[in-house]
Amino acid sequence: MSNRLAGTGSPYLRAHADNPVDWYPWGEEAFAEARRRDVPVLISIGYSTCHWCHVMARESFQDPDTAAQLNSSFVSIKVDREEHPEVDAAYLAAASAFTRDLGWPLTVFATPSGRTFHAGTYFPPVDRGRMPGFRTVLAAVREAWTDRRAEVEAQAGAVAEVLAASAASEAAPLPDERALAAAADEIVAREDRRYGGFGTAPKFPVATTLRFLQAEGRNEVVARALDAMAASELRDEDGGFFRYATQQDWSVPHYERMLIDNAQLLDVAIDAGRADVARGIADFLLAVLQRPGGGFGAAQDSESWIEGQRSEGGYYRVPLHARAQLEPPAVDGKIITGWNGLVIGALARAGADLGESSWIDAAVRAAELVLTVNRDAGGRLVRTSLDGVPSAAVATDADLGLLADGLLALALATGDPRWAARGLEVLAADAVADPVLAGQGIPGSVDGGDGDLPSGASARAAAHLTAWRLGAGEQHRERAAALVRAGAAQALRHPFGSGALLRAAAGLARPPRQIVAVTSDPRGPLAAAVRAADADLAAVLSPQQARAFAEVGFTLFEGRDGVDGVAYDCRGFVCRLPVSDPALVPAAR
């Protein structure tokens, strides 16, 4: 048996390299082998900090008898959902035809052409009550493939037709302020007024939704959610937030800690005026998730070794001062392009607001690594890298949008327009569809919703909005508007799962407020007044920096370099007379 996973760029796949299962990584080779052998394909999708993925691995994939059953009757593919989000999205959508309980590990059975005919999530090794065991499922799938092939093929074709139809976009007018207010009202009506946040259990931070509510001025709701989370077990003693809570009162967390959650909650905390929460998150990001090369790893595991036993959450339940005696949970060191874009932007904005230059320096290091390492031989950005080696997985629209927006924020935080120019270059690039999915005619993304992070359309729309507000051209507003229109109907029907797109829509529904302080004293009272103001974009630059931004094409800064120590308050690119008195910079819009 060949060991195909050991040399991959995914810690999740590497953890399965010594399984007795004859795993293939995602790629055409596996499907070609399935066609040659005329057997179905098992596609097992998970990620390295997924607790139930670990459980199923120990119970089933490390079991010789189960592996023998898989090897004789299937071609088995192991997929890291963080490395191949399009693959994950496509098969999650297909799995929804067979189960309402979607999640990971995702277990998909497909034809050699990649079409799904059965799916589920975690299966125990043997039957447990009404839940069939994995070996039982394998036997049933093999029997259906052998004895009822026409039925299997028909089911796979029907699922594929439904997915193809659902991939078509439904364009709608741009939401106006009234529609956005109604969407915010619908979300607010779901608030848990007793414990803060939304829903019962399990309970997630839903940072994309909180960011939309902040854009709509529903700050009390966001404050209640953030305060409740920050005071609960969901927040570790070191300041980092766990993935979600299993109880309604934010207790009994699921202990993995994700880069995307903490990066977005850093922005939420800054906008909510919770500097203490922001500092805790930043400390966690820099101390735990930032890798030696400068990039940020994807997540920290929920499990660790304690007294020779694998323990879920045991490390985090020990007081912070006593943890030095324990081996910490592993960090998935994949440097994901878009996720690093999120943290680059969050650290840049928070560092500028709170005067923490080390946070901005950390964002610079991450940007340098991603722009240098996360590229293929032709110079195109890829999805991930590990230990300085880029993955073959293609960068998604979300990767490009999130990285571009992060670089634009970094430009303002550093005063260096070269980062903004790099951001526009990234934003201008086209994402490449996953070649295997494209070759099989399977839509790579059938749902434009925003879940735990912005979708590709939402991420690109946000970056185009930032570029437009900086004066990079009206074409950026037009591109943002087109992306929002394509998803607006779905977003207004399901606002809770569309926070990032609705936030972009809010940015288009009203003229932007941009404030530029031109001062050689970036921590002085004028700069502080500008940063404290309620604005869509706030910039604090020296006269020389303002001139440099204007020279590379950002028209917001044209003619702003003549006087040191003034602030320009602009509404929809029409600026009031400059003021030098901080008291004359209105805090409200």
- Alpha helices (runs of H) in 259-307, residue ranges in sequence order: 259-271, 275-284
Amino acid identity, residue 135? R
Question: Angle at the Cα of 112 (from 105 to 56), degrees rounded to 5?
Answer: 20
Q: Count, in order, helices (H) and strands (E) of the chain.
A: 22, 19
Pull the structure tokens for residue 389: 């080696």
pLDDT in tens, 248-284: 999 999 999 999 999 999 999 999 999 999 999 999 9
pLDDT in tens, 175-200: 999 999 999 999 999 999 999 999 99
Mean pLDDT of the chain: 95
Query: How far is it, in rounded angstroms, from Cα 114 to Cα 77?
Result: 11
Query: How far is it, in rounded angstroms, from Cα 297 to Cα 392?
Result: 18
Tell me if 466 sits within 8 A of 454, measured CB to CB.
no
pLDDT value for 169: 63
Whether omega for the bond prior to residue 105 falls within 30 degrees of 0, making it cis, is yes
Beta strands of 323-408 (E only): which ranges?
331-332, 335-336, 384-386, 389-390
**What's phi and psi for 117, nearest 5 deg?**
-125, -5
pLDDT value for 101: 82
The residue behind tokens 């007081």 is 319
| Banded pLDDT at 162 (limits 50, 70, 90) | confident
pLDDT (average), residues 468-478: 98
Residues belonging to the chain: 589
Query: How far is it, in rounded angstroms, from Cα 63 to Cα 388?
Result: 33
pLDDT (average), residues 355-384: 97
Tell me if 258 sits within 8 A of 241, measured CB to CB.
no
Instruction: Report which listed range, 199-203, 220-224, 443-447, is most confident.
Output: 220-224
Query: Would you tell me how many other CB atoms lie within 10 Å of the CB of residue 168?
Result: 8
Which residues make beta-bridge pairs with 107? 44, 120
pLDDT in tens, 331-361: 999 999 999 999 999 999 999 999 999 999 9
Pull the structure tokens for residue 444: 């790579």
Least confident of 319-323, 336-340, 411-415, 425-429: 319-323
| Banded pLDDT at 448 (limits 50, 70, 90) | low
| Banded pLDDT at 129 (limits 50, 70, 90) | confident
Is the confidence at residue 2, as pLDDT, over 80? Answer: no
pLDDT (average), residues 210-238: 98
pLDDT value for 171: 75
Half-sphere exposure of 492 (CA within 13 A, CB side): 20
pLDDT (average), residues 556-567: 94
Quote the percentage of the chain above a pLDDT of 70: 98
Tell me if 345 sits within 8 A of 409, measured CB to CB.
yes
Query: How far is it, in rounded angstroms, from Cα 514 to Cα 533?
Result: 10
pLDDT in tens, 278-311: 999 999 999 999 999 999 999 999 999 998 999 9
pLDDT (average), residues 437-452: 78
Is the confidence at residue 3, as pLDDT, over 90? Answer: no
**What's phi and psi for 116, nearest 5 deg?**
-80, 135
The 3-class SS string of 103-125 reads CCCEEEEECCCCCEEEEECCCCC
Is the confidence at residue 458, as pLDDT, over 60? Answer: yes
pLDDT (average), residues 389-396: 95
pLDDT (average), residues 518-523: 96
Quote the percentage of the chain above a pLDDT of 90: 91
- Hey, CA dihedral for 55, 74, 155, 152, is it positive or negative? negative
pLDDT in tens, 65-103: 999 999 999 999 999 999 999 999 999 999 998 988 889
Query: How far is it, in rounded angstroms, from Cα 137 to Cα 105?
Result: 15
pLDDT value for 168: 63
**Antiparallel, parallel or unpaired: β 23-25 and 75-80:** parallel
pLDDT value for 333: 96
Query: How far is it, in rounded angstroms, from Cα 9 to Cα 227?
Result: 38
Q: Cβ-count burial of 389 within 10 angstroms (0-12 exposed, 13-18 middle, 19+ buried)?
A: exposed
The residue behind tokens 């409200």 is 588
pLDDT value for 110: 96
Coil, strand, or helix at residue 430?
coil
- Alpha helices (runs of H) in 113-175, residue ranges in sequence order: 134-147, 149-166
pLDDT value for 447: 53
- CA 112 → CA 40, 41, 62, 419, distances in Å? 6, 6, 25, 45
